[in-house]
Chains A and B, each alone.
Chain A
Amino acid sequence: QLQLQESGPRLVRPSETLSLTCSVSGGSVRSAFYWAWVRQPPGKGFEWIGTLHHGGDTYSNPSLKSRLLISVDTSKNEVSLKLNSATAADTALYYCARSTDVLTGFFLDYWGQGTQVTVSS
């Protein structure tokens, strides 16, 4: 059974970099699947952050693209997210998820439990 576990600092200072890791178990990040990050600000709906494949195919939310770096580490079987110049607007519950490909609409079939990140001084 595939399991995804997000981890990283719960508190980030404004202007610093928000960094998260998604550890994948029960499957390989080198599979045909893509990997995605999604976030949910308090009391709001979901916001797609980005989707990537270990082969290099990467898609990013245009509103975050200038601050965002998402990557896959095949040696550690992990997916990572770095969002620089963090602001209070980045405070959210962050999820890692497995994604299918474009032929099936990039839907998210497995999700991690999510990790809460607060941006505050």
Chain B
Amino acid sequence: FDLTQSPSLFVSPGQTATIPCSGERLGDRYTSWYQVKPGQSPVVVIYQDSKRPSGIPERFSGSSSGDIASLTIYGTQAMDEADYYCQAWDTNTGGVFGGGTKLTVL
């Protein structure tokens, strides 16, 4: 079981950023998303496909269907520039991470 992410995404401030993650039957599993800024530990921004932990801005949204899960950031801000990783659980391979997407806001 593998998760595939595009290595990079560029977005202008205020625009919407959508980061896809593809994997077999992702829609049948729970996907979580982690934000990683330089020198900091990962922070979960979406869990169970679409739930936001307390303290995560409402502009972060998640969805999942078929083989694709997506993290969407509405009104992207400079502070959202970071690496984003998807993760899902597989009964054979355990907690698999995607390769990560570097989001650049410029």
Q: Shortest distance in angstroms between B34's beta carbon and chain A's nearest beta carbon?
A: 7
Which chain A residue shows the least CB distance to B100? Answer: A45
Q: Which of A61, A105, A112, A114 is close to B32, meaning CB atoms less than 8 Å apart?
A: A105
Decide yes or no whether B74 CB sits under 8 A from chain A: no
Of the listed stretches A8-16, A23-31, A46-54, A77-85, chain B binds: A46-54
Of A47, A59, A60, A107, which is in contact with the most chain B CB atoms at under 10 Å from its CB? A107
A102 with B89, Cβ < 8 A, contacts A95-B41, A107-B30, A108-B42 known? yes
Interface mask (B65-106 → A, CB under 8 Å = 1, otherwise 0): 000000000000000000001011100111111111000000
Taking residues whose C-beta sits less than 8 angstroms from the other chain, chain A's interface range is 20 to 34
Q: Shortest distance in angstroms between A108's beta carbon and chain B's nearest beta carbon?
A: 6
Q: Shortest distance in angstroms between A21's beta carbon and chain B's nearest beta carbon?
A: 17
Which chain A residue shows the least CB distance to B98? Answer: A45
Interface mask (A92-121 → B, CB under 8 Å = 1, otherwise 0): 000100011010111111011110000000
Of B48, B89, B100, which is in contact with the most chain A CB atoms at under 10 Å from its CB? B89
Q: Which of B29, B44, B97, B99 is close to A48, meaning CB atoms less than 8 Å apart?
A: B97
Decide yes or no whether A55 CB sits under 8 A from chain B: no
User: B-contacting residues of A (Cβ < 8 Å)?
Assistant: 36, 38, 45-48, 50-51, 59-62, 95, 99-100, 102, 104-109, 111-114
User: A-contacting residues of B (Cβ < 8 Å)?
Assistant: 29-32, 34, 41-44, 47-48, 53, 85, 87-89, 92-100
